[in-house]
Chains A and B, each alone.
Chain A
């Protein structure tokens, strides 16, 4: 190495989290084990790392993401939405939107893919112990909420009341439909479902997520709100939470940006001087308020 160095390390620290070893651009070979058609445009991929030892050793925290590769098409970032206790496979839910997601949607069980994971930070669930947690998931934004919610429910004794508000455009746009009956029934979860417009046979709430949230009016006392969804839903849901009295440090969200490297270098997922891929994707609203408004 040459050159005089005035500054060796970053002026800020990156919080500790599980990180991949070795060449960070090289995906781990993996095989699609199962494909679940969630909705018309969402599929869930369950993938297993080809190296059995790597699969056994693979650890991650709820909220961390992975880059899923279809060789020849490219790679995109998705949250690992199975809870960390799930050791048999890694699950990604993918909405078809662009070229890579279209290629992912063409995959069948047995197909070879690549996985770079885990990347990014995770939900600060240790800080939530003893508190109520109110989850809000909008559309495909339910994927990261599913991970952390299932993780919390596995450790329910550590937390107070756990609630979920899950909204989608219509019942047909609701991923994890096969799990919803269980979520509605289980005594350790207060689950509310909503859709944007009336639909024949729908027995749950009708209305936009922020409005339904105001109607449910969860108490901000000793409660953390955790939300994920499209940018417009995040904007109005945060407004609703603030109206209900939630403090910015008790509102937690996970962001999505166009990403390439996933390791803090390629330069497109920044909000001011922070990079969603290494400083996020999980941020509190208080942290986001300190950054330039560029969501």
Chain B
């Protein structure tokens, strides 16, 4: 290798290293730190009887929004409230007796199964129980 080429190579490597050394901390800085928040296993939502029939409400379960539904017949369902298509929050439609996403028209049945529209996956299910009159939801693993 000629001396000129060698010096050009050194200069090129030095410049690339310098740019990389400048960009790396900026990129790392822009990435937010991981949250150290522990995920809960259960969440108590208060007296079950106070939950209106034919309605759904979203609660925060740790970091995740959960849709809790009480059907007209009085049955409870708890499902992940985030649409599997593009992250919108779904809602319970008592007129259709199904879960609907207003953003792109995706539909799910009450077990969370994607039945129509663009959602590619079902909604995750949460366990729901009435313990001493209180409505309690739990992650599927709990």
A binds B: no
Q: Taking beta carbons and an 8 Å cutoff, which residues of B are in contact with A?
A: none
